[in-house]
């Protein structure tokens, strides 16, 4: 299949290119030369960008099919312009055996929508005791190893796990959260939690754990990707660690760039997230850190939760928010607020995560995989449950009006979504 994408605004964050032009797609790749094409897509008025790469999206399979299925969430991904996604291992059972990883990849491949990159469990059942067979899991397709939202309490195991991963050159993707300090907490330990009578998770639960992780990177040489920063001080620590030359990268959940503890309002359980939404000062530091590149990328941290599990008192509600279809508009919103060039804001969800994953996509240049998104940056749409393909309609942005609507998504040169 050869496709001509005609007259769009081509934005390639990797090269900084931003101009009106044509893109040719041939044999699943971006092609330099114009050939006879089977199809022409009129991209006038649309941005043509690399498909989004989301480093954290839960597809809920296996185990949580009542919350979402691979079909529904892969539909959501491509409707949101996400062409590659990494899925955390907190499925049921967790992704701690090659067979599970293999099955997930086959199922995803058969659906032929977004590319799926499984993240393997760092410890068996994510229980934090025994290491998984990382080499086997990597062979089955795991791109990194993680504890998802169950950070290791035992620093001895953490140290050994990072040593072992470093031996094979596997990256570890970890959240920085001290389990003991976070125990029982459901909201940022601050003014709002005090008023609402919610048990708090102090900001230093993150920075103390991050301090340990950075020390272990120094000790083991392990490649560390810190997931979901939430505090201003953690951004500072990463900035210093990068300056020092440590092999460290990090991401932020897109919700945390836009929302703060204030958004809990009257116990809005859609704002029950992990890590918790923090103070306005923290939010500003995250938005600024994402702009200056201290934070490498923004992720959706997509977590579909069924309505029953959200219609509960705040502390009992299941944490997480749906985000695959909101990642693009929320990144555009953040970029517009900070007056960033489009190529720069899109870099945080395309070329930067591609670098962390070590994949060829995330760029528009001859020979790169033709994973592309065509979107209308000026089209406003209202976030209502019916507008979402994901089975999870749990988003704090319900009722918001956001700019940026995906029109066409291509993966490996095939049109996988068209609105």
Partner 1 sequence: MPRSFPHNPQLNANGELQHLLSIEGLPREILMQILDTAESFAGVTEREVKKVPLLRGKSVFNLFFEASTRTRTTFEIAAKRLSADVINLNVAVSSQSKGESLLDTVANLSAMQADVFVVRHGSSGAPYLIARHVKPHEHVINAGDGRHAHPTQGLLDLYTIRHYKKDFARLTVAIVGDVLHSRVARSLIHGLTTLGAPEVRVIGPQTLLPARVETLGVRVFHDMCAGLKDCDVVVMLRLQNERMNGALLPSAQEFFKHYGLTADKLALAKPDAIVMHPGPMNRGVEIDSSVADGPHSVILPQVTFGIAVRMAVMSIVAGN
Query: Where do contacts with partner 1 occur on this chain (CB under 8 A)?
Result: 189-191, 193-200, 202, 265-267, 308, 311-316, 382, 399-401
By beta-carbon proximity to partner 1, the closer residue of 159 and 267 is 267
- Choose the catalytic residue: 301, 306, 308, 352: 301
State the nearest-atom distance from the C-beta of 190 to partner 1, in Å: 5
Which of 282, 289, 256 has the alpha carbon at shortest distance from 203? 282
By beta-carbon proximity to partner 1, the closer residue of 225 and 278 is 278
By beta-carbon proximity to partner 1, the closer residue of 115 and 278 is 278
State the nearest-atom distance from the C-beta of 182 to partner 1, in Å: 14
For residues 361-388, one letter each, b for 16 or more C-beta atoms within 10 angstroms of the residue's C-beta and e for the rest, the string is bbbbeeebbbbbbbbbbebeeebeeeeb
State the nearest-atom distance from the C-beta of 194 to partner 1, in Å: 4
By beta-carbon proximity to partner 1, the closer residue of 21 and 202 is 202
> Are the beta carbons of 134 and 158 closer than 8 angstroms?
no
Whether 301 is catalytic is yes
State the nearest-atom distance from the C-beta of 141 to partner 1, in Å: 38
By beta-carbon proximity to partner 1, the closer residue of 32 and 312 is 312
Cα gap 26→188, rounded to integer Å: 50
Residue 381 bridge partners (DSSP): 402
By beta-carbon proximity to partner 1, the closer residue of 219 and 384 is 384
Residue 253 bridge partners (DSSP): 299
By beta-carbon proximity to partner 1, the closer residue of 124 and 196 is 196
State the nearest-atom distance from the C-beta of 291 to partner 1, in Å: 25
State the nearest-atom distance from the C-beta of 43 to partner 1, in Å: 28
By beta-carbon proximity to partner 1, the closer residue of 224 and 232 is 232
State the nearest-atom distance from the C-beta of 403 to partner 1, in Å: 14
State the nearest-atom distance from the C-beta of 381 to partner 1, in Å: 11
In SS3 terms, the chain reads as CEEEEEEEEEEECCCCEEEEEEEEEECCEEECCCCCCCEEEECCCCEEEECEEECCECCCCCCCCCCCCHHHHHHHHHHCCEEEEEECCCCCCCCCCHHHHHHHHHHHHHHCCCEEEEEEECEHHHCCCCECCHHHHHHHCCCEEECCCCCCCCHHHHHHHHHHHHHHCCCEEEECCCHHHHCCCCEECCHHHHHHCCCEECCHHHHHHHHHHHHHHHHHCCCEEEECCCCHHHHHHHHHHHHHCCCEEEEEEHHHHHCCHHHHCCCCHHHCCCCCCCCHHHHHHHHHHHHHCCCCEEECCECCCCHHHHCCCHHHCCCCECCCCCHHHHHHHHHHHCCCCHHHHHHCCCHHHHHHHCCCCCCCCCCCECCEEEEEEEEEEECCHHHCCCCCCCCCCCCCEEEEEEEEEEECCEEEEEC
Residues with active-site annotation: 301
């Amino acid at each position: 299949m050869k496709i001509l994408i005609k007259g769009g605004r081509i934005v390639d964050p990797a090269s900084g290119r931003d101009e009106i032009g044509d893109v040719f797609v041939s044999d699943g790749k971006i092609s330099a030369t114009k050939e006879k094409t089977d199809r022409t897509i009129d991209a006038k008025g649309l941005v043509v960008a690399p498909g989004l790469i989301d480093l954290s999206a839960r597809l809920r399979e296996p185990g949580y099919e009542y919350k979402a299925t691979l079909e529904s969430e892969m539909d959501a991904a491509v409707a949101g312009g996400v062409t590659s996604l990494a899925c955390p291992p907190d499925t049921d059972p967790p992704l701690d055996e090659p067979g599970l990883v293999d099955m997930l990849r086959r199922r995803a491949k058969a659906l032929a929508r977004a590319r799926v990159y499984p993240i393997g469990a760092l410890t068996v059942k994510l229980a934090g005791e025994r290491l998984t067979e990382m080499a086997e899991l990597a062979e089955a397709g795991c791109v990194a190893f993680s504890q998802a939202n169950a950070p290791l309490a035992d620093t001895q195991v953490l140290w050994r796990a990072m040593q072992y991963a470093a031996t094979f050159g596997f990256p570890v993707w970890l959240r920085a959260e001290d389990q003991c300090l976070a125990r029982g907490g459901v909201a940022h330990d601050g003014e709002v939690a005090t008023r609402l009578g919610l048990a708090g998770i102090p900001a230093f639960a993150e920075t103390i754990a991050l301090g340990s992780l950075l020390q272990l990177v120094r000790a083991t040489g392990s490649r560390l990707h810190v997931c979901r920063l939430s505090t201003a001080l953690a951004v500072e620590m990463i900035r210093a660690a990068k300056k020092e030359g440590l092999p460290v990268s990090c991401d932020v959940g897109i919700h945390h760039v836009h929302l703060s503890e204030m958004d809990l309002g009257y116990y809005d359980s859609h704002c029950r997230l992990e890590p918790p939404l923090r103070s306005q000062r923290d939010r500003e530091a995250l938005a600024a850190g994402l702009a200056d590149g201290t934070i490498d990328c923004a992720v959706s941290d997509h977590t579909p939760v069924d309505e029953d599990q959200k219609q509960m008192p705040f502390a009992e509600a299941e944490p997480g928010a749906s985000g695959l279809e909101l990642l693009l508009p929320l990144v555009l919103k953040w970029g517009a607020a900070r007056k960033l060039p489009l190529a720069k804001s899109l870099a945080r969800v395309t070329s930067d995560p591609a670098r962390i994953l070590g994949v060829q996509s995330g760029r528009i240049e001859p020979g790169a995989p033709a994973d592309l998104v065509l979107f209308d940056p000026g089209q406003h749409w209202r976030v209502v449950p019916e507008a979402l393909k994901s089975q999870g309609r749990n988003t704090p942005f319900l009722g918001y009006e956001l700019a940026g609507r995906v029109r066409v998504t291509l993966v490996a040169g095939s049109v996988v979504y068209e609105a």
